[in-house]
A and B are shown apart, each in its own frame.
Chain A
Amino acid sequence: MRIAVTGLGATTPLAGDVAGNWASLVEGRSGIRLLTEEWVPEMTVHFAGTLAEEPPLDRVEARKLDRSQQVAVVAAREAWADAGSPEVDPVRMGAVIGSGIGGFLTLLNAYDTLKERGPSRISPHTVPMLMPSGPAAAVGLEFHAAAGVHAPVSACASGAEAIAVAARMIEDGRADVVLAGGTETPIHQLTMAGFAAMRALSTRNDDPQGASRPYDIARDGFVMGEGAGVLVLESEEHAKARGARIYAYVVGAGLTADAHHIAQPDPEGKGATRAILSSLAQADASPADVAHINAHATSTPQGDVAEAVAIRAAMGSHRPLVTGTKSMTGHMLGAAGAVEGIYTVLALHHRLVPPTINLHEQDPEVDLDVVHGSARTLPQGDLIALNNSFGFGGHDVAIAFRSA
């Protein structure tokens, strides 16, 4: 597999565009903030990664799109412009945007309307806004994606699975260009209560920006974030024919499952190891070729160790530079895999691995070369970088990128 990455777009807690994201990552700045909603005091968690910039959409556009669709559209527009807004025959154009939850904010608002004002007051836009395929549909419509529109739903691996599905569309000859990404806007009392009930969230209310600390001995859970990331994937032939700038290539997509527990990771990380090795096999690469891994690294006590075990099992004695960018963004759930795919591509493009912040004392059970303190450079030459994404339900996705 060799699919060109020719455009990038992202809106996250760090910044409203890719350039701002990269600047924040390299400097090690956190995007986590205290929440100010009236329901916050009764919660065990008082902070999250809210968008650095509200979606710049006009009023009429915004009222027909759930927030999860809005951020997806914003990221897709940036990615498309970044790719040079190529002319593509609609029947050769695809859109694959994943989400873990979809338009539940719309669902909740509509339910309030139903109870308060009755069924005749439900907006006709309710269903297209709440369906999990809504973000993919909104992006597909705007960019005339007639080759196919897909919406992978695999919890926190959704965004990575979208890259996998999109790359496969091109590999299989169904499309020349595909907008691939993930979106999630999960910040709401109900969602936070749900994750808090699982004891999955950090409760470090006295230090929100120090709360997401992958691999640190004192980590106590993940920090919820919102955002979207979209990549323009393109067949190498199509990209070269139009003289497009190629950031990197998608060269492998490993998709497996733990079949272990609905929420807990397999402590041996066997599914994750298989996903990594599968992505490398498709790339015709060996573990020794892997220079960098953007890890899933959510900052949960069990998950970080399970992933470290999985990486060690896949890499053997080879020690690539590992980073956990959720230390800065928080965990954007279904958007995470796509946004971190972008970060992985940028690391190859700039030959620089951003640091994992808040890592003061590395958990001795995590035997990895974790970049912390400041960014570290990657060597020149042909490099492979991996992006891992896992999700509740045991989804394991590893995307292999090759430097351009």
Chain B
Amino acid sequence: MSQEILDGLAVIVNEVAGVPVADIQPDKSFIDDLDIDSLSMVEVVMAAEDKWGVKIPDSEVKNLRTVGDAVAYIEKSTA
């Protein structure tokens, strides 16, 4: 798993929702652990799209349950 993408995503989630960067780990669920609501999740997705130049369709967003899921998806999309 790309540490660089994880670190970048942690900065985004911290910016959007104020979650401490250290808490943003691959096994954490956006909704259950990090308390990211559906609107904030859209913001995270938009920021990630801007940062890595990828497109994350709504049909994929619902599969991104954990931080690790999102890192893997971004990693795959940028490969």
Contact = CB atoms under 8 A, between A and B. Distances in A.
B43 interface: yes
Nearest to B46: A121
Interface in B57-73: none
A124 B18 contact: no
A59 to B, nearest CB: 7
9 contacts: A58-B18, A120-B46, A121-B46, A121-B50, A123-B43, A124-B40, A124-B42, A124-B43, A125-B43
Interface in A51-65: 58-60, 63
B11 interface: no
Nearest to A121: B46
A228 B38 CA distance: 30
Given A59-B18, A60-B18, A121-B50, 5 more contacts: A60-B16, A60-B17, A121-B46, A124-B40, A125-B39
Interface of B: 16-18, 38-40, 42-43, 46, 50
Contacts of A123: 43, 46
A77 to B, nearest CB: 18
Nearest to A61: B18
Interface of A: 58-60, 63, 120-121, 123-125, 128
Contacts of A124: 38-40, 42-43
A59 B43 CA distance: 15
A58 B18 CA distance: 9
- Residue with the greatest number of chain A CB neighbours at <10 A, chosen from B17, B39, B42: B39
B25 to A, nearest CB: 19
A298 B68 CA distance: 58
A124 B44 CA distance: 10
Nearest to A120: B46
Contacts of B46: 120-121, 123
A123 B39 CA distance: 9
A378 B65 CA distance: 64
A128 B37 CA distance: 14
A326 B10 CA distance: 47
Nearest to A60: B18
Contacts of A63: 16
Contacts of B50: 121
Nearest to A59: B18
Contacts of A125: 39, 43
Contacts of A58: 18
A128 B42 CA distance: 14
A63 B18 CA distance: 11
Contacts of B16: 60, 63
A63 B50 CA distance: 18
Contacts of A121: 46, 50
A58 B17 CA distance: 11
B54 to A, nearest CB: 13
B47 to A, nearest CB: 10
Contacts of B17: 60
Contacts of B39: 124-125, 128
Contacts of B42: 124
A122 to B, nearest CB: 9
A125 B42 CA distance: 9
B16 to A, nearest CB: 8
A317 B70 CA distance: 75
Nearest to A63: B16
Nearest to A128: B39
Contacts of B18: 58-60
